[in-house]
Chain A
Amino acid sequence: MSRILKHPAQSVNTVEQLPPSPGQLARTRAWSHRGFQIGTGILILLILVAIFAPYLAPHHPFQQSLPNRLLPPVWVEGGNWTYPLGTDQVGRDYLSRLIYGTRVSITIGLSAATIGLLIGVTLGVLAGYFGGWVDHAVSFLLTTQLALPGLLLAMALVFFIGPSLIVVICIIGVLHWTYFLVVTRSATQHIRSLDFVAAARASGASSRQIIWHEILPNLSSKIIVIFTFELGIAILAEASLSFLGVGIQAPTPSWGLMIAEGKEAIFYRPWLVVLPGMFLFVLVIGANLMGDGLRDITSPEEKS
């Protein structure tokens, strides 16, 4: 071995500093990506609001005050600082209900997107890795899912099972895995054909070891990006279900439910609809900006 040690290639140039790792490069890009910073900022802020809701809310969200029904926000004629954003039809403080609504939206968004991730990534990796009949079966499942009218199915399921937070989370999660599946399946098919997978097999690695060690690390950035997009979609799905009366049930403060309750007065008291709509809009925009940013940061070559 000593002879080989004296190989001329030993005397390679000495660069003292190690070149940056993929992670470091991504961090550098994150620092200069405005959209990612804004989106992440919004999301972190709203998560903090959800966690500290009891300290931030001026009133209890369920506390009714019938003399103070349908008060307008402070900047409208007749509003006052006791109820900064006014009150609803039974005199509950609107700001407090909006703050508590953040909890519902974020809980459902994160949990449902996680369920979707688990289903979609599992099926996608299996279909992409094994191919053959597994792929046919999963593809059939995918086409079936895509052919079903999602909202209608969700309504029917909630109607039969009965509404509760857990049920709504599970149903939204079970209906939102297709995007995860499509992306991870084609990415796995590509990675599987690369030589490092063949090298791992030649080293005696089992399929399970290859999937965990070689394939999943290369999918992680894609999965995180889809997760943030699905987060926004799941939040909107909850709002839609609640608006239609088959999601979160009163008196729990959910933005979709608040929009539904306010819609009868939309022409006279527009803030009842506009305010929860704005909160919803800001949260979803935050999630999407973060997802867009993550895509640019983790795979700059796919930026379009």
Chain B
Amino acid sequence: MPLLNVENLSVRLPVPSGWLHAVHEMSFSLEQGEALAIVGESGSGKSMTALSLMRLLPPNARLTADTLRMGQDDLLSMPDAQFADRVQGGRIGMIFQEPMTSLNPVYTIGRQMSEAAIRLGRLDAQAAHRRAVSLLDRVGIPEPGARMGQYPHQMSGGQRQRVMIAMALMLEPELLIADEPTTALDVTVQAQIMALLAELRHETGMAMILISHDLAVVSQTTDRAAVMYCGEMLEQGRTSDVLARARHPYTGALLRAIPTIDGERRRLAAIPGTVEAQFAPPEACVFAPRCAEAMPACMHARPPIQGPAHHWARCVLDKPTPPAEAPARALFQPDPKTADDAAMIEARNITKIYHLNAGFFSPKKQIRAVDDVSLMVRRGETMALVGESGSGKSTLARIMLGLVDPSSGSVSLQGQDIAGMPDSARARLVQPIFQDPYSSLNPRRTVAEIIARPLHLRGVGASERLRRAREMMDMVGLPSRLQHSYPLNLSGGQRQRIAIARAMINNPEVLICDEPTSALDVSVQAQILNLLSDLQAEFGLTTLIITHDMAVVHQLASRVAVLLQGRLVEQGPASRVLCAPEDAYTRALLQAAPRFDTAALAAGAGA
């Protein structure tokens, strides 16, 4: 008997314009000790699936299912009180995406860890305390005894996620649901957490459902994978099969859209369009509007499930799509000859010190966000600035944009000091693209107004502004019918295109992109990375890309600088730094980056 058996699970949510079909007739089962990955982009319904298993859906959501059983227990008919006592936490544990907000800030770690076990009468206070300490030790928290009396704010994000994992293990659940457990964490920490989860699973024999948007993370840690799109499960099978011999065109497209960290650079095969919300039960293939292999049959009926039980897909095509192949067009590579030696933008000995004053009478604290960094980007070159959170990379970006004054040091643009430059002159030379497309656009302005704002500031007339805004929208691939809509209604990818259009309307020489794709889905990330490299080819832009993702570096950059705690630890050509890093930290970063082990996958699939 499987540990968990789900048949035809559907979840609907009421929205102003009707019912949103978040999950539609989804079926899967899970054996004891097995790890299942549910993979999908945002809006695919993967988190809703997890929440419905834990009865944590929003109160007005409607859940229907033919079967929802855990072992002998029917979870559908179980009353809430019994469910809370027996299943929630006890048989199914859950860890969430955001460790910074999933612990209660006013209670100690110890109290939060032992609370459930004591309340359910599983352990007495002393036994619970002992178990909590040993679990904290197991998940790699140093000095676990002392930590029990601490509060969440005294710990880092990675440590909090470890505490969450230990907390989920307190009641020895048979199933652990991990909803994007490492998305909010740095790469090096992410690798540690995933390794910890795998170890714990082998030790305790618990089953796991890992929800993720990251196929590389999934490939290393799960036995089976299910691919979701728009609430529909499109493909399911052994992880190695799904990744190496994808049956569904969506899985194949997703795999081709991911930049890799090694191998030859190629233009990413972006999936056109965006994920659309489903306001009716699907009567056609949900992926058909974006599918390269769509045919009339896809539009007329929901495709059948095809393929053997251990690897099936919901597609009219009954054949494995070929593994990732190089698309026809080669990627634009800046010609080393055109990249002349003249520095386009140069930071000299930049130091930025922030003063924290805790109060009137306490001594002032100093934080060195950036410490004596010198950086030079040549004309036409793409430089990547790599670092984890807290490394000072965003501060450095803002200093180079002239938005923040450095404590000491100077920035020069084409040999001119940026500090003495008028704002309007600087705006024509250097433009930013920010990480979060949800906060980088004014919600009260229309798309055309946002894009043309820099021209408005220069006193360009209204009709000319509109004409140029349309031109820019065209250039970044935004349909012109969107010119009067508000950012509220647009997807993350569309918003990032608007931000790029606003920067490009200035005709800048330098683009400084601060994590331009880290808030976006994989397929959209590919669109944006391609767009950036197209613009570079077209206009000979000089680009500084700030990122934590080594694959993005490999995809775009010709030179790399690595920042650790405000200091540059390594700088050099991308080919050299990615293959033969000199600094220990760079090596650690590269090692931790999740990647597909294609050879092993192929071997596994063949076996």
Which segment, of B50-58, B363-371, B527-535, faces chain A?
B527-535
Residues from chain B with a CB closer than 8 A to the CB of A10 are 272, 477, 479
Residue of B nearest to A220 (CB): B444
Q: Are A205 and B457 in contact (CB under 8 A)?
A: yes
**Nearest-Cβ distance from residue B461 to partner chain A, whole angstroms:** 17
B467 interfacial by beta-carbon distance below 8 Å? no
A198 close to B398 (CB less than 8 A) = yes
Residues 538-563 (chain B) with a chain A CB within 8 angstroms: 538
Evaluate whether A202 and B432 lie within 8 angstroms (CB atoms) in the complex, with A7-B534, A9-B272, A196-B442 already known: yes
A304 at the interface (CB under 8 A from B): no
Which one of B273, B402, B481, B499 contacts A9 once the chains associate, using CB atoms below 8 Å? Answer: B273
B403 lies within 8 A of chain A by Cβ: yes
Q: How far is the CA of A4 from the CA of B530 in the complex (A)?
A: 10
Residues of chain A in range 168-210 having any CB-CB distance to chain B below 8 Å: 194-196, 198-206, 209
Asked if A214 and B442 sit within 8 Å, CB to CB, the answer is yes
A-B contact pairs, 17 of them (CB 8 A): A9-B493, A10-B272, A11-B272, A12-B274, A19-B485, A195-B440, A196-B441, A196-B442, A198-B401, A198-B434, A199-B440, A202-B401, A202-B432, A204-B457, A214-B442, A218-B442, A218-B444
Instruction: Name which residue of chain B comes closest to A203, CB basis.
Output: B454
The answer, yes or no, to whether A1 is at the interface (CB within 8 Å) is yes
Known: A4-B475, A195-B436, A199-B432. A22 touches B454 (CB 8 A): no
Chain B 498-548 residues near chain A, CB threshold 8 A: 499, 502-503, 506, 527, 530-531, 534-535, 538
In the complex, the chain A residue whose C-beta lies closest to that of B494 is A12
The reply on A147 being an interface residue by CB < 8 A is no
Q: Smallest Cβ distance from B285 to chain A, in angstroms? A: 14
Q: A195-B440, A203-B457, A214-B442 are in contact. List 19 more A-B contacts (CB 8 A).
A: A4-B531, A7-B534, A8-B272, A9-B273, A10-B272, A12-B272, A12-B274, A14-B479, A19-B485, A196-B450, A201-B423, A202-B401, A202-B402, A203-B454, A204-B424, A204-B458, A206-B423, A209-B457, A217-B442
- With a CB–CB cut-off of 8 A, which chain A residues contact B489? 19-20
Which chain A residues numbered 76 to 117 have a C-beta less than 8 Å away from chain B? none
The one of B402, B430, B434, B479 that contacts A195, using a Cβ cutoff of 8 Å: B434
**Is B427 within 8 A of A194, CB to CB?**
no
User: Do residues A22 and B477 form an inter-chain contact, with CB atoms below 8 A?
Assistant: no
- Asked if A200 and B475 make an inter-chain contact with CB atoms under 8 angstroms apart, the answer reads no
What are the residues of chain A within 8 A of B445 when measuring CB–CB?
A: 217
In order of increasing CB-CB distance, the 3 nearest A-B pairs are: A195-B440, A204-B427, A204-B423
Indicate if A18 sits at the interface (CB-CB under 8 A).
yes
Report chain B residues within 8 Å CB of A202. 401-403, 426-427, 430-432
Whether A4 contacts B488 by the Cβ 8 Å rule is no
Closest CB of chain B to A26's CB: distance in Å? 12
Question: Digit string of A210-237 for contact with B (CB within 8 Å is 1, else 0)?
Answer: 0001100110100000000000000000
CA distance A12 to B276 in the complex (A): 11
Q: Does B140 belong to the interface (CB within 8 Å)?
A: no
Chain B, range 276-306, C-beta contacts under 8 Å to A: 276, 289-290
Instruction: Determine the distance from Cα of A19 to Cα of B424 in the docked complex, in whole angstroms.
Output: 35
* Contact of B443 with A by CB under 8 A: yes
The residues of A that contact B436 with a CB separation of less than 8 Å are: 195
Q: Which residues on B sit within 8 Å (CB–CB) of A218?
A: 442-444
CB nearest neighbor in B for A216: B444
Q: Does A303 contact B (CB under 8 A)?
A: no
Which residues from 1 to 55 on chain A have a C-beta closer than 8 Å to any C-beta of chain B? Answer: 1, 3-5, 7-14, 18-22, 25, 28
Return the chain B residue nearest A214 by Cβ. Answer: B442
Q: Which of B422, B444, B479 makes the CB contact (< 8 A) with A22?
A: B444
Q: How far is the CA of A151 from the CA of B445 in the complex (A)?
A: 42
Are B443 and A22 neighbours in the complex by a CB distance under 8 Å? yes
B427 to chain A, nearest CB (A): 4
Contacts of B530 in A (CB 8 A): 7
Chain A residues in 8 Å Cβ range of B527: 8-9
Nearest chain B CB to A135 CB, angstrom units: 14
CB-CB < 8 A to A204: which residues of B?
A: 422-427, 454, 457-458
Interface residues on B, range: 35 or more
- Which single residue of chain B is at the shortest CB-CB distance from A16? B481
Of B453, B479, B499, which contacts A200 at CB under 8 A?
B453
The residue that A199 contacts in the complex, of B274, B443, B502, with Cβ under 8 A, is: B502
Q: Are A198 and B538 in contact (CB under 8 A)?
A: no
What count of chain A residues pass the 8 Å CB interface test? 37
Q: Which of A21, A198, A203 has the most CB of B within 10 A?
A: A203
Chain B residue contacts of A8, Cβ below 8 A = 270, 272, 527
Interface residues of B in 94-134 (CB under 8 A from A): none
- Cβ-based interface call for B486 (8 A): yes
Which residues from chain B contact A13 at a C-beta distance below 8 Å?
273-274, 276, 289-290
Q: Does B72 contact A (CB under 8 A)?
A: no
B439 in complex: contacting residue of A20, A195, A205, A206, CB < 8 Å: A195
The interface residues of chain A lying within 8 Å CB-to-CB of B486 are: 21-22
- Distance to closest chain B CB from A214 (angstroms): 5
Task: Give A9 to B268 CA distance when docked, in angstroms.
Answer: 13
Interface positions of B from 16 to 69, Cβ below 8 Å from A: 16
Q: Which residue of A lies closest to B276 (CB)?
A: A13
Decide: B453 and A9 in contact? CB cutoff 8 A. Answer: no
A13 to B392, alpha carbons, bound, how many Å?
A: 40
Contacts of B475 in A (CB 8 A): 1, 4-5
Instruction: Looking at the assembled complex, report how far the CB atom of A86 sits from the nearest CB atom of chain B, in whole angstroms.
Output: 51
Q: Which residues of B contact A21 (CB under 8 A)?
A: 446, 484-486
Q: What residues of A have a CB within 8 angstroms of the CB of B423 in the complex?
A: 201, 204-206
User: Once the chains bind, are B272 and A199 in contact (CB under 8 Å)?
Assistant: no
Complexed CA–CA distance, A28 and B16 (Å): 10
Complex interface residues of chain A between 217 and 263 (CB less than 8 A to chain B): 217-218, 220
Q: CB-CB < 8 A to B290: which residues of A?
A: 13
Q: Nearest chain-A residue to B505 (Cβ)?
A: A203
CB of B199 closer than 8 Å to a CB of A? no
Q: Please, how many angstroms separate the alpha-carbon atoms of A217 and B441 in the complex? A: 13
Q: Is the CB of A12 within 8 A of B273?
A: yes
**A275–B477 CA distance with the chains assembled, in angstroms:** 66
B444, B446, B527, most chain A CB atoms within 10 A? B444
Report B-chain residues with C-beta under 8 Å of the C-beta of A213. Answer: 453
Determine the chain A residues whose CB is within 8 A of the CB of B457 once the complex forms: 203-205, 209
In the complex, chain B residues whose CB is within 8 Å of the CB of A220: 444
Residue B474 lies at the interface, judged by CB distance under 8 Å to chain A: yes
CB of B499 within 8 A of CB of A199, answer yes
Q: Which chain A residues border B535 with CB–CB below 8 Å?
A: 4
Q: Which of B442, B453, B458, B538 has the most CB of A within 10 A?
A: B442
- Chain A residues whose C-beta falls within 8 Å of the C-beta of B453 in the assembled complex: 200, 203, 205, 213
Q: Would you call A199 and B444 a contact (CB within 8 A)? A: no
Among B402, B423, B431, residue most surrounded by chain A Cβ atoms (within 10 Å): B423
Q: Is the CB of B427 within 8 A of A18?
A: no
Task: Tell me, rounded to whole Å, the shortest Cβ–Cβ distance linking B102 to chain A.
Answer: 21
Shortest beta-carbon distance, A4 to chain B, in Å?
Answer: 5
Query: B537 to chain A: closest CB distance in Å?
Result: 8
Closest to A8 in B: B272
Closest to B269 in A: A8
Write the chain B residue with the least CB distance to A20. Answer: B489
Per the bound structure, the CA–CA distance linking A217 and B485 in Å amounts to 16
Give the shortest distance, in Å, between A221 (CB) and chain B (any CB): 9
Tell me the minimal C-beta distance from A212 to chain B in angstroms: 12
Nearest neighbor of B477 in chain A, beta-carbon distance: A9
- Are B488 and A22 in contact, with the CB atoms below 8 A? yes
Is A18 touching B531 in the complex (CB atoms < 8 A)?
no
Residues B444 and A217 in contact, CB atoms below 8 Å apart: yes
Which residues of B have CB within 8 Å of A198?
398, 401, 403, 432, 434, 440
Contact A203–B272 (Cβ < 8 Å): no
CA of A271 to CA of B406 in the docked complex: distance in angstroms? 71
Cβ of A12: which chain B residues have Cβ within 8 Å of it? Answer: 272-274, 477, 479
